[in-house]
Amino acid sequence: MKLKIQYNSPVVLTYTLICVAVTFFDWMIYGDFAKSANFPNTVTGQFFTLYPNKMSFDSVLSYFRVFSHSMGHGGWNHLLGNFSFILLIGPILEERYKSGPLLIMILLTATITGILQTIFFRSALLGASGIVFMMILLVSFTNFKSGSIPLTFILVAILYLGKEMFNAVNPSPGTQNISQFAHIIGGLCGGLFGYVINQKNMLQDKQPES
């Protein structure tokens, strides 16, 4: 029997490959590009980092960065930390919710996070951590039943979002450059998506066949 490699999760794998390509390109040219003075001139710095203090309604690039920041990373450790979760959880979600809806959820999460970051903060934002938290909360809705909220969702929300809220209020030296806000917004998006989509599916299943 001949085995072949299957592109089993198109959205998740394509998203991963884009992020890897962006990081690889800058790493090949600049090395540790996130700490380089040339960072604003890198591909990541120019196209995949959100700068709230540089937003312009007349700039197409500003609108692009509102969601493209989720494809930029500050080096391999940053990227691997995020995609170790995304590659584990993402294919499960893509199989359950299908590629189109998952792509929409990823884009919405990135865009909502980018808009709120621009409104409330002045610091730059990049990375897929908001998408990670969206997926973590979304996957906890896998056993959703109408009229109930999974205990796993409640526990995940307490553990992950509670931790981020605590770190936001009591930042330690190791978390000063981490956007807890993006994590929290991503998690809230995942919880909302999970509830709305599963509730809708339950209602459709209850409708009598014509």
What is the structure's pLDDT at 74? 92
Q: pLDDT band at residue 207, thresholds of 50, 70 and 90?
A: low
Cα–Cα distances in angstroms (integers) from residue 21 to residues 15, 24, 72, 119, 120, in the given order? 10, 5, 10, 30, 31
Q: Tens of pLDDT along 46-104?
A: 999 999 998 888 899 999 999 999 999 999 999 999 999 999 999 999 999 999 999 99
Mind listing the pLDDT tens digit for each residue in 23-35? Answer: 999 999 998 888 8
Q: How far from 48 is each of 12, 65, 78, 112, 117, CA to CA, in Å?
A: 18, 6, 14, 16, 15
